[in-house]
Structure 1
Amino acid sequence: MLIRQIKVPAVLDSVKMIIVTPLIAGILTILFMLVGPGKFFAFLNTSLFDFLNAMSGSNLLILGFLLGCMSNLDMGGPINKVAYLFCIGAGTNGNTEFYATFTVAKCIPGMSLGIMSFVFPKFFDEEDRLAGPSTAILGFCGITEGAIPYAVKDPIGIIPAQMIGGGVATGLILSSKIQIGTIAGGAVFMLPVISEPLAWLAYFIIGIAVSMALTFAIKTMRKSKVVVA
């Protein structure tokens, strides 16, 4: 917005808007991140990654639960990416069961919220109800970001339920050591390259059910408190 205040000849205005403004703004943002909050986020990401590495030799059920919680905490954000990179790193060393957990975790928020907006419409506004089918489709395709608008409107009612639902599914998958034949992409349509597709699908459905049940419980309790008040 500041760069847009700089006046240029009319013939160059389109060039400024399309090329110059985003280029300068991008460079300034990168420099700010490098000397400012970027150092903190780098430290945070490194610490989380080291923590997961330290956990990798312990109980797989607990580690899987943590990976699922991290994946669905910020739904595609930096903590999600720490879990993603950890699973990718483990997969390149032949431990593809870690990436099998990530594929299920990132599908759960979109699928559970998309289904809930249709089954329990009273908990959602018109905008969220209309977005329900597309959110479920995005979740089916492994795109978590479709659930973000729901989480922004009601973080307390949405995020904890998605974390726990994802954690339950990923904990079960990792402890069962279900393998996947690729460490790229990943969603429900990856079933042909999963070592135990029926078990993976069953854990996926359990994760969705847990997320929906917890979301229903949290929203019902909070609505009851509002009515009483």
Structure 2
Amino acid sequence: MANIVAITSCPTGIAHTFMAASALEKTAQAQGHTIKVETQGSVGAKNQLTEEDIAAADLVIIAADTHVEMTRFAGKKVYETSTGEAVKNTAAVIERALAEASVQGGDAQQGSLADEVSAIKADRKASMGGPYKHLLTGVSYMLPMVVAGGLMIALSFMFGITAFEEEGTLAWALMEIGGGAAFHLMIAVLAGYISFSIADRAGLAPGLIGGMLATNLEAGFLGGIVAGFLAGYTTKLIIDNIRLPESLAGLMPVLVVPLLSSLVVGLLMIFVIGGPVGWLNAAMADFLQGLTGANVLLLGVIIGGMMAIDMGGPINKAAYTVSVGLLAEGISGPMAAAMAAGMTPPLGIALATFVARQKFNAAEREAGKAAGVLGLCFITEGAIPFAVKDPLRVIPSLMIGSAVAGALALGFGSTLAAPHGGIFVLAIPNAVGNLGMYAVSILAGTVVTAVALIVLKRPIEEVSAGSRATKAGATKAETA
């Protein structure tokens, strides 16, 4: 039996982070292993692994969709996977970890800044990351800025849509905090932490600088993404290819790397990338704002279906990330569609378990109550246990309901100033545009999801009878 330590982390730091931790703990203990899981959630790390925990561990499991600092696991056997895989296939993840984990590179003791640069190289070779993971890391750090900024702007509108124009008033102050500070910084934070995910701390400065240039050049969300990847890979290239004498190696992380990477990124953003990406960003915004009629409904259907198909997985996160990016550009309709569509899967399941009790066993009916609470909080992952158990019936039902919710939200012209919060955001004045019809969109998606589930799912009695008939047939065949 193994002594396991683990870290779980998802982009929002809410649902998948803790669901993966719970699944790993329960399954590992059931298999006879000892385990301690550190959760890197939205409010910081909980149940933190100590140096003693790591030293005593036989195996380290990293179940994360964002960047995790790996230098403290130097010399340990490490296995990396996603939070979704840890939730859905926990036993298989542990088995693969025991069989396939590889020793993490880097020095356990870092005596100088030069040692830290060397460790970065080893960490990157051991990482299974990839562009999508780097992007989600940037988004996860940007989200609090978007939430705080959006709600500050919404609160300023409480005093009137143009009240912020009068300098020195509370409305003006709220707009300065939200729009002047938080929204002005969010692209820089996005780019900085994309670069950080690629090149660790050495990538942070050029990423932040590139992101701020994207904001100043009006290249927006797309420019921030480009700047982040450019900064990260430029930094990594410099670290991998520039060699200084040992006596000067300490200058690499504090002088050579930040200077050269920031210079390259800055010049490329100003003279090469900023203009074309800014044009593309503006063209996309104009296109989305110009959508009318059936095109708006189609966009809502696409966003809704993507939010429901894997309930917090890569497709869901892609739709959510795009919606957050558009919100940063001042286009808040897609965010409204994404949240409505993300709330309806667990809400629809909760309604179905209450209305059609004969189609769900006692455990499922109890889980339906929890799903309802998660749905109200915009935690789509509350639907995962039902989808895993009966995917061919549950997932299409969820997609239909979410498509309806997304289409209606956009069709009614609803908008949303914050990228998270669920029902709690609805209570903030002016956080939601066309609030009444937005509530109708969520309710309609919930009802459609529940009806589809009730129609597609077989009653418990029917399933049990079918199972008994199958067993009886098999017994008769054996006897014959």
Q: TM-score, normalised by structure 2?
A: 0.39
> 2:351–2:447: 8 Å Cα contact kept in structure 1?
no
Give the structure with the higher percent strand.
2
Partner of 1:33: 128
Shift of 1:115: 2.0
Shift of 1:166: 0.4
Percent identity reads 30
Q: Aligned AA for 2:377? A: C
Q: 2:329 aligns with which of 86, 93, 106?
A: 93
1-structure distance, mates of 2:52, 2:332: 51
| Larger displacement relative to structure 2 (188-197 or 66-75) | 188-197
Shift of 1:3: 8.7
Off by >2 Å, runs of 4+ in structure 1: 1-4, 12-24, 26-34, 53-58, 220-224, 226-229
Partner of 1:199: 437
Change (3 A) 1:176 1:18: farther
2-structure distance, mates of 1:207, 1:185: 18
Shift of 1:18: 5.7
Partner of 2:296: 60
Q: Give deviations 1:57-97, integer Å, cap 9, x for gaps.
A: 65111011010000010001111000001101111111111
Q: TM-score, normalised by structure 1?
A: 0.77
1-structure distance, mates of 2:52, 2:400: 50
Shift of 1:185: 1.3
> 2:346–2:374: 8 Å Cα contact kept in structure 1?
yes
Q: Give deviations 1:8-54, integer Å, cap 9, x for gaps.
A: xxxx98443569734441565984635xxx57x78xx9xxxxxxx79
Change (3 A) 1:18 1:128: farther
Partner of 1:111: 347
1-structure distance, mates of 2:60, 2:392: 37
| Larger displacement relative to structure 2 (133-142 or 13-22) | 13-22
Change (3 A) 1:164 1:15: same
- Does residue 139 (structure 1) correspond to residue 378 (structure 2)? The answer is no
Partner of 1:82: 318
2-structure distance, mates of 1:14, 1:206: 49
Change (3 A) 1:168 1:17: farther
- Pairing 1:141-160 to 2, within 5 Å after superposition: 141-160=377-396
Shift of 1:195: 1.3
Partner of 1:8: none
> 2:304–2:341: 8 Å Cα contact kept in structure 1?
yes
Q: 1:210 aligns with which of 445, 448, 461?
A: 448
- Pairing 1:9-24 to 2, within 5 Å after superposition: 14-17=53-56, 21-22=60-61, 23=73, 24=76
Count of aligned pairs = 207
**What RMSD over aligned residues (CA atoms) do the two structures have, in Å?**
3.4
Partner of 2:424: 189
> Alignment partner of 1:107: what SS?
helix
2-structure distance, mates of 1:188, 1:113: 17
Change (3 A) 1:221 1:125: closer
5+ residue gaps, structure 2, are 5-50, 62-72, 81-101, 105-123, 137-283, 471-480
Partner of 1:48: none
2-structure distance, mates of 1:202, 1:179: 14
> 2:3–2:59: 8 Å Cα contact kept in structure 1?
no
2-structure distance, mates of 1:111, 1:19: 41
5+ residue gaps, structure 1, are 5-11, 46-52
Shift of 1:175: 2.4
2-structure distance, mates of 1:161, 1:171: 16
> Alignment partner of 1:21: what SS?
strand
User: Which protein is bigger by CA-based radius of gyration?
Assistant: 2
Q: Aligned AA for 2:312? A: G
Q: Give deviations 1:171-195, integer Å, cap 9, x for gaps.
A: 111122211222x313122223211
Shift of 1:219: 1.3
2-structure distance, mates of 1:214, 1:85: 28
Partner of 1:9: none
1-structure distance, mates of 2:56, 2:351: 41
- Does residue 167 (structure 1) correspond to residue 403 (structure 2)? The answer is yes
Change (3 A) 1:32 1:173: same
Change (3 A) 1:122 1:82: same
Give the structure with the higher percent helix.
1
Q: Aligned AA for 1:204? A: I
1-structure distance, mates of 2:360, 2:459: 15
